[in-house]
Amino acid sequence: MEVKFERLALIGIGLIGSSIARAARRSGIVGEIAIQSRRAETVETARRLALGDAYTTDPAEAVRGADLVIVCVPVGACEDVARAIGPALAEGALVSDVGSVKASIIRQMQPHLPAHVHFVPAHPVAGTEHSGPEAGFAELFRNRWCILTPAPEADRAAVARLRAFWEAFGAYVEEMPAEHHDMVLAITSHVPHLIAYNIVGTAAHLEEVTQSEVMKFAAGGFRDFTRIAASDPTMWRDVFLNNREAVLEMLARFNEDLTALQRAIRWGDGDTLFELFARTRAIRRGIIEAGQEVEAPDFGRGQLAADPHKA
């Protein structure tokens, strides 16, 4: 793989940022890597893991001389980052991000970026429930989608370079308008996370009444929800606050469907229940056939098979 970017600056070095650093190093698509985090302890962890070539807590220092800058911070922090790095960006630099909300990030960042840089927002649809630089791994993006949401007037050469960057990690790349991205992700990611947080929160309340039976006898479905609900709270707080319109619209549709489901259960309408379950089962098979999941949805439970008392 030929070097396509001489210097990559990563602003934020959590799960996604550290995975980008590892994948970029492995692929050889970048020369140097500069790493920034606002916390000195996180910078030192990145240094210990040898994730980059330069380390700093100053975002402006990190981006100086970089021809690719990727902002890997929670959505709510993107405006402050853009304001800090704007004056230090090199002419012709490509600026991107990894946030799972795009329209809000564009509104936050675009006004603070100089006209001489190329801004191409992006969202790698990949992650785990873990966070921090030690949680990253180079294979995180392999066979996963990365969505680019460039403005209609964006420089096509810059978009092509960013596409090549993500493809070098084994990711599939697609483009779509920012507002459409936010609606799609509201139903495929944001609302499922909100439901998971709510169900686990309800179980926590029941836990006080049932004296640990909810946790002790948690079946696979509940355990799968707890995996999702273990995700970074700061990141998800910002996601919901910055994609509220799309999330609220999807929640309204979900509530309508849930009401219909309640009615079917109340009136013993087995045909309606069976039809829904069959349709959703087909969707699960489609996700597996698309290579976005494996057949066994154990979320690590296979490691507990030898000792079910740990489950």
Q: What is the DSSP string of 114-128?
A: -TTSEE--EEE----
Per-residue DSSP letter, 309: G
- Are 162 and 217 within one domain? no
Q: Which CATH number does the domain housing residue 268 bear? A: 1.10.3660.10
- Are 45 and 141 within one domain? yes
Domain boundary among 146, 176, 206: 176
Supply φ then ψ for residue 253, to 5 degrees: -65, -40
- Are 257 and 159 within one domain? no
Domain boundary among 155, 176, 197: 176
- Are 25 and 140 within one domain? yes
Look up the domain containing 286 and give its range: 180-310
- Are 191 and 115 within one domain? no
| Confidence at residue 225, expressed as pLDDT on a 0 to 100 scale | 74
d(CA 138, CA 168): 11
Structure tokens at 195: 């439901």
Write down the pTM of the prediction: 0.80
* Alpha helices per DSSP H over the chain: 15-27, 40-48, 59-63, 78-85, 103-109, 156-167, 178-185, 191-210, 213-216, 220-229, 233-242, 244-266, 270-289
- Are 73 and 133 within one domain? yes
Q: Which CATH number does the domain housing residue 135 bear? A: 3.40.50.720
| Confidence at residue 228, expressed as pLDDT on a 0 to 100 scale | 76
- Are 113 and 85 within one domain? yes
**Which residues of the chain register pLDDT less than 50?**
297-311
The count of structural domains within the chain is 2
Residue (of 127, 102, 124, 126) closest to 173 by Cα position? 124
Residue (of 16, 1, 263, 258) closest to 133 by Cα position? 16
- Are 191 and 169 within one domain? no
Domain boundary among 129, 156, 176: 176
- Are 66 and 210 within one domain? no
- Are 152 and 207 within one domain? no
| Confidence at residue 153, expressed as pLDDT on a 0 to 100 scale | 94
| Confidence at residue 287, expressed as pLDDT on a 0 to 100 scale | 66
- Size (the chain), residues: 311
- Are 113 and 250 within one domain? no
